Chain A
């Protein structure tokens, strides 16, 4: 769970973003701008975290009063296996090296619920971490790196599946289902879509990141809504947003059914006034934005 160094929210003097050019980073930066919170987010062309001198270059840009937001990662849609695993660790090592030279005021690391075992159906922050793959292991290793190598207040945020119209990732979730429906008039599910999952709108993730920054929070928090839905029901909700009929088709099941539910009491305790966007409202917004982008 999180504890707050600033019980009453205050704007950090500056947020130094690593990975600020991605889907989530751009949304966070827009929110910080809107709130009048200064931020810097070096572009990949300005700062390659995978470069050998990345640590020194970050250190040169970093100020001790900065709150560091680490979003940079090679995500599974860009590749799986050892190469991206090592690349991600190298990026985190560069960030650690920089923060060892210039200790920031606060660090927020966006981890992932991939640190939990695939078989864990009910997740809390107390659930033992046991990543089923290298992607989850990478996030867990990075968490440990930041905890042990950086002497600054640290918040670890572990989001569930994030969705939003601008999300370029195409993992199995609302984004892919919506794109399938739009392109093919058909949503294809694994099995009959029995798996229960928790999907969170990007706006809510951004709001929670901002809260963690403004409270200078420390500790670990799962970023999830606490409301899980089966892929079959999710597909029906998405299909209902299209004017034309959308076919929902199952496929022969290849893997065992697993479910994931989050107990979000720790989030309620950390941010009592925070309220989630309902899934229906979130899906409607993502659908609307998709049409606007067309």
Chain B
């Protein structure tokens, strides 16, 4: 039996990765975007995003991937996913107008029996409010993680599908497509599925915030969070995959968007979101950890410091700088000279008025009073303490994520600080 054609409309991170994963599951894919230039680039194998394994995946299954800017080409599809990333503003509020426009544009070209699935991040109530035929309109939770998007698209933990009537069977082509991934399929009403996505992120934020709160306490009382984490992971109530790694806030944009949605809905309906607001405040506080360290360890001691910043992307294995802690840090380093290096993001003048792009991670260290590792790119693990020490003018190494070998850097005479470790002991 031939496999149905699956369409993806909106070729940003989510749409590209999801389309490639569908092709990898041997479904013919029509990948549509309104931007002809983007489509031409994709057709030529030029990917507009950085995602480990994606170039190979697209290349391997290229014959099943058809890129187009003609919406009429979606008429061949039994299932069409609408999957653009939803833009958010600085407060985390979603701009839903682009996805509404895209749905309207796509809907006019669907085959009569085609199924439309909203895959983008939309707030509760969005799908039902579209007012489309309930039997052919669904919402599906996406769980894309930048840097691990391919792995998660190919091997999803489960599918969560929002339906007008959860007791009714899914349309055959959609069911067949989802079953090809061999994971549980959870059907629920639209609003539950839309809130399920937010619920997942809320639980993650709760874990991250707990880790950040306790890591900060560790820094002050002589405890080491990295020693505590293994004990927590062995507790079945917490689990081996729990988000327990402290970080510079919650980062990334999508989590903030969902927290903003909760606050908005809670305010609208009079429910209590006080704890969510506390998480947001804690995130803002921890985001500035590196800045506070720089002031305490460098600015207070050195007249005109030069700072080496490694990493500009918001996390490793991505070129995205949205909500990047590194860029937030640069914005607060106004008068100081900064030398920066990132494997995929170029040091742009708009990031900082006195920013110099270095040729390599070690080159960034030359003549600097402090090294600050803002993005935990795996390649930074290879930095040798003696090589760093010989290039730095100062002795300070600030490594929030602990990507470097802290004991080795301390042994090399460097003053090493990371999240969750005693800060007093870090003073060399």
Contact = CB atoms under 8 A, between A and B. Distances in A.
A26 interface: no
Interface string B99-134: 000000000000000000000000000000000000
Interface string A244-286: 0000000000000000000111001100110110000000000
Given A273-B335, A275-B299, A276-B300, A268 B281 contact: no
A43 B285 CA distance: 43
Contact of B332 (A126, A264, A268, A276): A268
Interface residues of B, number: 13
B187 to A, nearest CB: 42
A74 to B, nearest CB: 35
B281 A272 contact: no
Q: Determine the interface band of chain A, counting residues with CB < 8 A from chain B.
A: 10 to 19
A272 B332 contact: yes
Contact of A272 (B285, B288, B292, B299): B299
Chain B CB within 10 Å, residue with most, of A124, A264, A265: A265
A153 to B, nearest CB: 20
Nearest to A263: B285
Contact of A273 (B281, B288, B291, B299): B299
Contact of A265 (B291, B335, B336): B291
Contacts of A268: 291-292, 295, 299, 332
A226 B296 CA distance: 10
Nearest to B294: A268
B337 interface: no
Nearest to A267: B295
Contacts of A273: 299, 335
B288 A265 contact: yes
Contacts of B281: 126
B249 to A, nearest CB: 12
B416 to A, nearest CB: 21
Interface in B350-407: none
A263 B287 CA distance: 13
Nearest to B284: A126
Given A275-B299, A276-B300, A269 B335 contact: no
A272 B300 contact: no
Contacts of B333: 272
Given A263-B285, A269-B332, A275 B300 contact: yes
Nearest to B285: A263
A126 B281 CA distance: 9
Contacts of B288: 265
Given A126-B281, A263-B285, A269 B291 contact: yes
A272 B338 CA distance: 14
A186 B300 CA distance: 34
B334 interface: yes
B352 to A, nearest CB: 11
B326 to A, nearest CB: 16
Nearest to A126: B281
Contacts of B332: 265, 268-269, 272
Given A124-B285, A272-B299, 9 more contacts: A268-B299, A269-B291, A269-B332, A272-B332, A272-B334, A272-B335, A273-B335, A275-B300, A276-B300
Interface of A: 124, 126, 226, 263-265, 268-269, 272-273, 275-276
17 contacts: A124-B285, A126-B281, A263-B292, A264-B292, A265-B285, A265-B291, A265-B292, A268-B291, A268-B299, A268-B332, A269-B291, A269-B332, A272-B299, A272-B334, A272-B336, A273-B299, A275-B299
